[in-house]
Amino acid sequence: MPDPGQLKAPDLTLAGTCLAWGSRTYIMGILNLTPDSFSGDGLLETSDSIQAAVAQADAFAQAGADLLDVGGESTRPGAETVDAEQEIARVVPVVAALAERHPLPISIDTSKASVAEAALDAGAAWVNDVWALRADPQMAPLLAERQIPVILMHNRLTPNSADLAERLGGRYVGVEYDDLLGDIKSELMYSVDIALDAGIDPARIVLDPGIGFGKTVPQSLELVDRLDEIRSLGFPLVIGPSRKSFIGFTLDLPPDDRVEGTAAAVAVGIARGADIVRVHDVAPMVRVARMTDALVRRPKN
């Protein structure tokens, strides 16, 4: 398999921060502005979501986070959709407060162009689109016009394939692929083509294989182990295994007790080529990433 620094994409600068791909792993801290996050960390459950988000971002920064990811719509299995107006009301005040206070680049986790535009105007630096430009035909032109980087995530979410368990949360069952990695790569490249056709610079494209999104527990485990095949496409790679159901159902643990399972997935993911890890538990995952980097990114004689 290629080592994490072998496939060198151009460095990406976000809000004055340079992401030098291959030099180390970057940590993205998750800020969920939802009342129904699968991981139990939804900040709308607090009395003042802006204050809570700023405090959480402060803690993430102190723990060593490099990036902040703000989202206003839950993507857990069985979650209700949120309209653009409500999503904007949730995320824009927080993005504005964070941008004023923090030098850390902020990504907006949305598939709606109107939400992305409002968040970018408020200070977000890039877009994390879990539907990889396929949900809103206005997203790709917006990003191209404004020269905004984008994370394209593979996604086969279908409500009918979600199985909900009271203690462990949701997982996907009965999801079929002709060729798991081949299909994921092909579908990611379809979204890359959408981006390129719209005029998005390939140097501003980052891929996310969508661990747990429309994938069964065995498929998610296999995907983590074979991430190097996604990295071989030549784009920087984000992974988001944090507290996911594939960990919970493997270890029989609820979302708030999955830090060790997340650490294992993060370590293997980095070894297989991940450039950014998107996590809830920033402090321990910073340590995991630094140790894994010392093992797999060390100078080779």
DSSP sequence for the chain: ---TTTS-PPPEEETTEEE-TTTS-EEEEEEE--S--TTS--GGGSS-HHHHHHHHHHHHHHHT--EEEEE-S--STTPPP--HHHHHHHHHHHHHHHHHH--S-EEEE-S-HHHHHHHHHHT--EEEETTTT-S-TTHHHHHHHHT--EEEE-----GGGEEEETTTEEEE-S---SSHHHHHHHHHHHHHHHHHHHT--GGGEEEE--TTTT--HHHHHHHHHTHHHHHTTSS-BEE--TT-HHHHHHHT--GGG-HHHHHHHHHHHHHTT-SEEEES-HHHHHHHHHHHHHHHSSPP-
Residue 206 β-bridge partners: 151
pLDDT at site 39? 45
Instruction: Give 38's pLDDT tier (boundaries 50, 70, 90).
Output: very low
What's the whole-number average pLDDT of the chain? Answer: 90
Residue 273's Cα: distance from chain center in Å? 15
| Residue 121 pLDDT > 90 | yes
d(CA 27, CA 223): 20
Instruction: Give 289's pLDDT tier (boundaries 50, 70, 90).
Output: very high
Share of the chain above pLDDT 90, in %: 78
Would you say 153 and 129 are in contact if contact means Cβ atoms under 8 Å apart? yes
pTM of the shown model: 0.92
Q: pLDDT: is 6 or 301 the higher one? A: 301
Instruction: Give 98's pLDDT tier (boundaries 50, 70, 90).
Output: very high
Instruction: Give 133's pLDDT tier (boundaries 50, 70, 90).
Output: very high
The pLDDT tens digits of the residues spanning 150-196 come to: 999 999 876 556 666 666 667 667 688 999 999 999 999 999 999 99
Q: Which region among 48-52, 160-164, 216-220 has the lowest average model confidence (pLDDT)?
A: 160-164
Sign of CA dihedral 269, 212, 235, 222: positive
Q: Which region among 69-73, 197-201, 285-289 has the lowest average model confidence (pLDDT)?
A: 69-73
* Domain range 26-296, its CATH number among 3.40.50.10860, 3.40.50.1370, 3.30.70.600, 3.20.20.20: 3.20.20.20
| Residue 76 pLDDT > 80 | no
Strand 238-239 and strand 162-165: the pairing is unpaired
Q: What is the mean pLDDT of residues 281-293?
A: 98
| Residue 59 pLDDT > 80 | yes
Which residues have a catalytic role annotated?
Answer: 244, 278
Strand 17-19 and strand 205-208: the pairing is unpaired
Q: pLDDT: is 235 or 80 the higher one? A: 235
Q: pLDDT: is 214 or 115 the higher one? A: 115
Q: What is the mean pLDDT of residues 233-256?
A: 95
Q: pLDDT: is 163 or 298 the higher one? A: 298
- The contacts of residue 170 (CB under 8 Å, 6+ apart) are 38, 76, 77, 78, 162, 163, 164, 245
Give 50-59 contacts, CB < 8 A, sequence gap 24+.
50/93, 50/94, 50/97, 53/94, 53/97, 53/98, 54/94, 54/97, 54/98, 54/101, 56/29, 56/31, 57/29, 57/31, 57/98, 57/101, 57/102, 57/104, 59/282
pLDDT at site 177? 94
pLDDT at site 75? 72
